[in-house]
Amino acid sequence: MSLPLFDGRGKLVSDTWEQSILPGRSLILVVDDADRIVWHGVPKSRGRSTGHSVPFPCRTAEASLIRRYMPTRNYVGMDQARIFQSILETTTEGGIGLDYDCPDTGVIRDRPYNDDENARVYDRINELSAVSNGFDWTIDVVWGDDAHTFVRKIARTGYPHLGNRTQNPAHTFETGQNLTDFDFQEPWGEGDAATHVRAVGDGEGETKLMSAPIIDTAREAAGWPRTEERRTFSGVTVQSTIDSHARAVAGYLFGGQEVLTLTARNPTGAEDFTRLGDLTLGDTARAIIDTPQLKLDEAWPVVGWSLTPETGIYKPVLAKIGEPGE
């Protein structure tokens, strides 16, 4: 992000701008015209130069967990959502003040963690959530009252995913309507796809923990050449856990991931299009594209977006995640 220091008459916009964008301390909100929070960020640095603006790159609240380390804990026979919440609660002292919305998933796991493993909290919860039959997680920043005088930071889990997944979504992007451009990434070019997957855990040399190969036999039998992928999961020392990681990676990569970046516009006048503030990450949205290069009518999850404030143009990113083979 960037803060202009001067207005059109060359007058300093604010004499408190330094306090407003303190790295690691300030919380920046992006709101729409209805004052709904569509994004939040914490400044990570604050650039200074001879220019008339101050750049300050931001990261969302989840990034605070990168700088916290996992203490010794031994979770036995606990729901994975309870393990997730307990891990985050180890950051309460000196933390960012989290509330929790983590309903039980019915999936029971064992997870031993040791302080001397020097593992970051962020990595531990990603490893926990990314196994087969895992969950989605995020930290939402929402208004804490109707007057918008404070915010709450809520750690949420969703099982098996966050967002409203439906084949008949409320959100639609269509060429000739609110969709002005698109970029389609096919999975078997430079996209994210594989037919042979292994997960790698801790250890050295011949003692390094590895899963058995998981192979997309159906696709290879149909004539696709083998494409291998290995993903490393630090701190994993149990065979059943690394095998679960491998199955999750296979579910992501088998069949490939088709990624569709849309260029959309907000409605004007009497139009009734989806606004950026209407979307929640994880929701499905329907893309209806009818061009010589691509004909598509699919409902895929929204996995990200970008926004250009000056124009109001926003770019939702939709992805079709591959399904694991039998």
Average pLDDT along the chain: 90
CA–CA dist 204, 22 (Å, integer)? 42
| Residue 157 structure tokens | 């889990």
Return the CA Rg of the chain. Answer: 22
| Residue 254 structure tokens | 């088998």
Q: What is the structure's pLDDT at 324?
A: 40
The residues, ordered by sequence, that sit 6+ positions from 3 with a Cβ below 8 Å of its Cβ are: 13, 17, 20, 21, 53, 54, 56
Reported as a pLDDT band with limits 50, 70 and 90, residue 325 is: very low
Tell me how crowded residue 237 is: count the other CB atoms within 10 A of its CB. 13
- Residues paired with 74 in a beta bridge: 112
Convert the pLDDT of each residue in 55-85 to its tens digit: 999 999 999 999 999 999 999 999 999 999 9
Q: What is the structure's pLDDT at 190?
A: 58
Reported as a pLDDT band with limits 50, 70 and 90, residue 322 is: low
- Look up tokens 């920043």; give the residue: 141
Q: Is 1 helix (H, G, I), strand (E, B) or coil?
A: coil
Q: What is the structure's pLDDT at 323?
A: 46
- Amino acid identity, residue 170? A
| Residue 155 structure tokens | 């750690």
Look at 192 and 113; give whichever has higher pLDDT: 113
The one-character DSSP state at 281 is: T
Reported as a pLDDT band with limits 50, 70 and 90, residue 188 is: low
What are the backbone angles phi and psi of residue 288, rounded to the nearest 5°? -115, 105
Reported as a pLDDT band with limits 50, 70 and 90, residue 236 is: confident
Q: Look up the pTM and report it.
A: 0.81
Q: At what angle do helices 80-89 and 121-129 cross, to 10 degrees?
A: 170
Q: How far is CA 134 from CA 63, 86, 249, 257, in A?
A: 21, 16, 11, 19
